[in-house]
């Protein structure tokens, strides 16, 4: 997830710090303008499914939605398996991914996007390679703040890496990785190679294996694009796919069919999407696809966009593809689908857990229509048992 969440820096070391520090706050403030008065009173939501999850978190001024939502997803998986709830360290995941991304960037002589964003497979790759730690053990708050503020750190890391690949000596030393880790140590704290949790010593590997206990190979990445071969893996061409992760391409309707199947069978879903639409209101906690484009609405229609249920456009695969190709749909954000609800007219909405704190009308949660999910989804991650059996067979799983 990338747009707005991390900067493309003109001068990484100096100009970028302020941009990154305010990136998350600016996004939330921008989306908070998409509001209607008395919106909450105009909806009557009835929960149909609401699965186990841990409390809402706040990613602060950082582009770490992917690690917050990805970890939230793992925490719900632990609860589904009957394990004790644990808040997992989002910054442990991010730090390891940043180190791997830096290595990839240097290997490619700087021809790779940098930034704080990432994707759900980054969470799984970190889990497989490095393990996991509790949030209490590694909060990343090593410089006197109560919330993430990654601006200065990101500027320093990007400036450092650009200097490395420019390399006036013509040959890299073996020390750059240690120096890069030193930047993260200074801002996030020393790497937690060993720690004590509930009176027992662990390494990140043993904690992942003994306490978290998931099998990363049990999870299926899905996406849907008309110009890719159906039921085959493909590389999703977005800047934050620095690891070149692949997704199984399925028809658009299988995105919502899979979410429905997963929820009804007790599985939550990690969801990456575009949130830049005017019909996405963080403050009012609702997202849908209006029948009119925003620029064609009257002033009254704009002011009352979120005052109760509205009719929606019927989404087609052509619409999805066009919106992605022309940059209307971009890789903005990652959230966690934890349930299903219906409004007073019987229309169904997914219950979404966000990572922007509990500052909106639904204390950190949102209600998102199926049309919006069909239109604006970039990818999903779900346990294989949360995927319909016929779809698993088609993708060869």
Catalytic residues, by residue number, are 65, 333, 354
Helix (H, G, I), strand (E, B) or coil at 158: helix
**Whole-angstrom Cα distance, residue 192 to residue 308?**
48
The alpha carbon of residue 260 and the mean position of all alpha carbons in its chain are separated, in whole angstroms, by 20
Helix (H, G, I), strand (E, B) or coil at 335: strand
Helix (H, G, I), strand (E, B) or coil at 89: coil
Helix (H, G, I), strand (E, B) or coil at 365: strand
Asked if 365 and 64 count as a contact pair (C-beta separation under 8 A), the reply is no
Dihedral of the CA atoms 64, 240, 382, 215 (nearest 10)? -80
The burial of 248, by beta-carbon neighbours within 10 Å (0-12 exposed, 13-18 middle, 19 or more buried), is given as buried
The burial of 32, by beta-carbon neighbours within 10 Å (0-12 exposed, 13-18 middle, 19 or more buried), is given as middle
Beta strands in 227-363 (DSSP E): 233-235, 246-249, 269-273, 280-281, 286-287, 333-342, 348-353
Asked if 90 and 146 count as a contact pair (C-beta separation under 8 A), the reply is no
**Whole-angstrom Cα distance, residue 293 to residue 241?**
30
Q: How many CB atoms lie within 10 A of CB 190?
A: 11
Asked if 58 and 73 count as a contact pair (C-beta separation under 8 A), the reply is no
């Amino acid at each position: 997830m990338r747009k707005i969440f991390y900067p493309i820096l003109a001068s990484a070391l100096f100009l970028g710090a302020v941009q990154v520090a305010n990136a998350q706050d600016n996004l939330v403030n921008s989306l908070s303008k998409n509001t209607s008065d008395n919106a909450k009173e105009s909806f009557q939501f009835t929960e149909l499914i609401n699965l186990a999850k841990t409390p809402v978190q706040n990613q602060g001024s950082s582009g770490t939605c992917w690690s917050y939502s990805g970890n939230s997803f793992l925490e719900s998986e632990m609860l589904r398996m009957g394990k004790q709830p644990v808040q997992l360290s989002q910054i442990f995941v991010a730090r390891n991914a940043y180190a791997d991304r830096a290595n990839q960037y240097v290997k490619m002589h700087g021809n790779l996007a940098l930034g704080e964003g990432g994707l759900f497979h980054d969470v799984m790759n970190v889990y497989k390679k490095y393990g996991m730690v509790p949030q209490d053990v590694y909060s990343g708050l090593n410089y006197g703040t109560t919330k993430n503020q990654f601006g200065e750190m990101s500027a320093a890391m990007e400036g450092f890496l650009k200097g490395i690949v420019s390399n006036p000596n013509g040959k890299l030393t073996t020390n750059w990785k240690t120096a890069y880790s030193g930047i993260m140590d200074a801002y996030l704290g020393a790497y937690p190679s060993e720690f004590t949790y509930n009176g027992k010593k662990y390494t990140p590997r043993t904690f992942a294996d003994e306490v978290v206990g998931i099998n990363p190979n049990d999870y299926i990445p899905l996406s849907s694009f008309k110009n890719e071969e159906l039921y085959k893996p493909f590389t999703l061409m977005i800047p934050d796919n620095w690891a070149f992760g692949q997704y199984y391409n399925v028809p658009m309707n299988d995105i919502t069919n899979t979410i429905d199947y997963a929820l009804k069978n007790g599985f939550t879903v990690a969801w990456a999407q575009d949130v830049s639409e005017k019909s996405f209101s963080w403050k009012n906690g609702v997202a849908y696809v209006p029948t009119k484009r925003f620029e064609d609405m009257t002033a009254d229609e704009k002011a009352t966009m979120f005052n109760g249920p509205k009719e929606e456009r019927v989404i087609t695969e052509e619409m999805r593809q066009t919106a992605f190709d022309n940059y209307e749909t971009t890789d903005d954000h990652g959230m966690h689908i934890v349930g299903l609800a219906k409004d007073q007219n019987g229309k169904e909405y997914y219950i979404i857990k966000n990572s922007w704190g509990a500052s909106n009308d639904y204390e950190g949660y949102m209600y998102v229509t199926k049309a919006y999910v069909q239109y604006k989804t970039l990818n999903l991650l779900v346990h294989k048992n949360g995927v319909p059996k016929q779809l698993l067979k088609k993708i060869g799983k």
